[in-house]
Amino acid sequence: MKQQIPARKKPNFGIRTDLAVEARELFAHSNASSETDGIETQEEKTKTYLFTKVRITQEDAAKKLGKPLGSYLTIESPLLRQNDTECRNDVIKLLSQELRTLANLKEHACVLVVGLGNWNITPDALGPKVVKRLLVTRHLQDTLPEELSASVRPVAAISPGVMGLTGIESGEIIQGVVEKMHPDLVIAIDALAARRFHRINAAIQMSDTGICPGAGVGNRRMTLNHDSLGVPVIAIGVPTVVGAATLVHDTMDRLLEELQRHTDQSSPFYEMLRSMNPDEKYDLIEELLTPDGENMFVTPKEVDAVIDHLADIIANAINTALHPGITLEDIQQLAF
């Protein structure tokens, strides 16, 4: 009797994104609607940036978007890649203001800032680079003169590295530090993955829902949130990579749309293009990317300089948000 070999099950083609604005866009595209119950959206556009607030208030909406309940704030601008001075200052001011509102800290609250990522890989080095630029003061609280102690807040910072460097889950390191120092808030900075290439190194997302390191590149680790750490967690991230499969998927969509525009609608070829379903597109993508490309992620060639600019923006926003008596001008006079 001939043994039947079961057909290989196709994985679902999922476009990876850590950005709530993109999850909302994907949902709207697939449902022919820009909004749904449980999702609140606000936008503000200025000369230098687009600011979007997405608030997920219902569990059903959270499941549809694949994001936890909470608030997601996104600042977008192509000028972020260029280190434009006006945009830089505007974004620092806005990010600092929104962080202060989101954190809602008491006067002497202690904050732990965590720089997630691998400092040896530039697109993943955002967190460690931010930590290097922070004004850490927790160790100085007992020695500061009275006139200065009211100007700064106790802030500590760590870069726990990644499991490949330390052999320890970064979440376990952070848990141990939190249990020892008892901060009132954890701020976690990490590199993210985007769905749209134009947002790479051109957007900053902040949320009050915590973060799951590595989720955007399919390397999910321990989630850092209030449930796991026992304190509120604010996540700040920048999309620094996009999946190769996502680029191929989008390119195919644009190619198919263009072919349809230039094809006689009565022809069999037009009907074939119009009826091509996601499974067929997945087969083509799989054929193009197998065996190595399915796990490939792409980043722009100028990523080294851009990551430094973005780390500087985020660090300055955190410094001015956490320390009530410190201004951006004060920070710029200090060497980090």
Residue 90 and residue 149 in one domain: yes
Residue 285 above 90 pLDDT?
A: no
Q: Which of 35-39, 153-157, 272-276 is the most confident on average?
A: 153-157
Q: Are residues 267 and 319 in the same domain?
A: no
- Number of domain units in the chain: 2
Predicted confidence (pLDDT) per residue in 173-219, tens digit: 999 999 999 999 999 999 999 988 889 999 999 999 999 876 545 55
- The answer to whether residues 185 and 119 belong to one domain is yes
**Does the pLDDT at position 41 exceed 70?**
yes
Distance, CA of 219 to CA of 8 (rounded, Å) = 23
Considering the domain architecture, whether residues 276 and 222 belong to the same structural domain is answered as no
Domain with residue 155: its CATH number is 3.40.50.1450
> Would the pLDDT of 3 be above 60?
no
Do 77 and 87 reside in the same domain of the chain?
yes
Q: pTM for the full model?
A: 0.83
State residue 249's pLDDT score. 72
Q: Are 213 and 224 within 8 A, CB to CB?
A: yes
Residues 272 and 143 in one domain: no
Residue 204 shares a structural domain with residue 288: no
* Domain annotation covers residue 240: yes
Q: Tell me what the mean pLDDT of segment 50-76 comes to.
A: 94
269 and 166 in a single domain? The answer is no
Domain extent for 264: 247-294
pLDDT of residue 13: 42
Q: Higher model confidence: residue 301 or residue 149?
A: 301
pLDDT at residue 189, rounded to an integer:
97
Q: Are residues 110 and 135 in the same domain?
A: yes
Residue 12 maps to a domain: no
Is 232 in the same domain as 145? Answer: yes
pLDDT above 60 for 12 = no
Q: Is residue 139 part of a domain?
A: yes
Q: Is residue 4 part of a domain?
A: no
Same domain (yes/no): 144, 229: yes
121 and 31 in one domain?
yes
In a domain? residue 1: no
